[in-house]
Structure 1
Amino acid sequence: MATSTRDGAPHEDEIRLWREDNWWIAKDVETGVTTQGKSRDAALENLDEAVALYRGEIGREPTDAELEELGIDPADNTTGDEEPPDVLK
């Protein structure tokens, strides 16, 4: 596996970008956040947004009123002690 260094020292701002089945896949190595897009630019834009969400730099929790408007009971909107599904790990 390749490693990345800058001036001989490892760095944390590394991304990987590849094409798979007509989609561009972008992965932030530090966080493990991965996105896709129909173009390289779209995949990278999606990655920027997803990493910002992951780090809590943008976005917010929905309000109970917003959940109810979508037909979701806020009391049922918890994972509790359950493990998240594999797709979310």
Structure 2
Amino acid sequence: MSADTDGRGRDSPNAPVEITLSLGENGDLWMARDEETGVASQGETREAALENLDEAVALYRGDVGRAPTDEEVVAVGIEPDANASGDLPDVLK
């Protein structure tokens, strides 16, 4: 059986994915692991663990990335109009 690809050699969102989902030893966190990449994540619910895994795998593959909005920048204490590239607030230094 062949898997669909997105033209870059990666599986499409509809291709089968093997994921291991288990409850942690203390019973308070769910662990999710993508078997193809070895990337793992966790969450307080199964759904949260799987959502976190989706994000972690996307980051691993380099599929995520966008410039932050002005609102997101302001939320972390940076004034977009007064900031030159490379200037960081003290909290990020």
TM range (shorter): 0.5 to 0.7
Paired with 2:92 and 2:46, the residues of 1 have a C-alpha distance of 36
Match of 2:86 among 50, 64, 80: 64
Gaps of 5+ in 1: 1-5, 73-89
> What's the TM-score once normalised by structure 2's chain length?
0.55
Gaps of 5+ in 2: 2-14, 68-84
Q: Runs of 4 or more off by more than 2 Å in structure 1?
A: none
Deviation at 1:31, TM superposition (A): 0.9
User: RMSD of aligned C-alpha atoms?
Assistant: 2.7
Deviations 1:47-80 (A, max 9, x none): 001100111110369x623xx22342xxxxxxxx
Match of 2:23 in 1: 19
- Higher CA-based Rg: 2
Paired with 1:58 and 1:34, the residues of 2 have a C-alpha distance of 17
- Give the paired residue count: 61
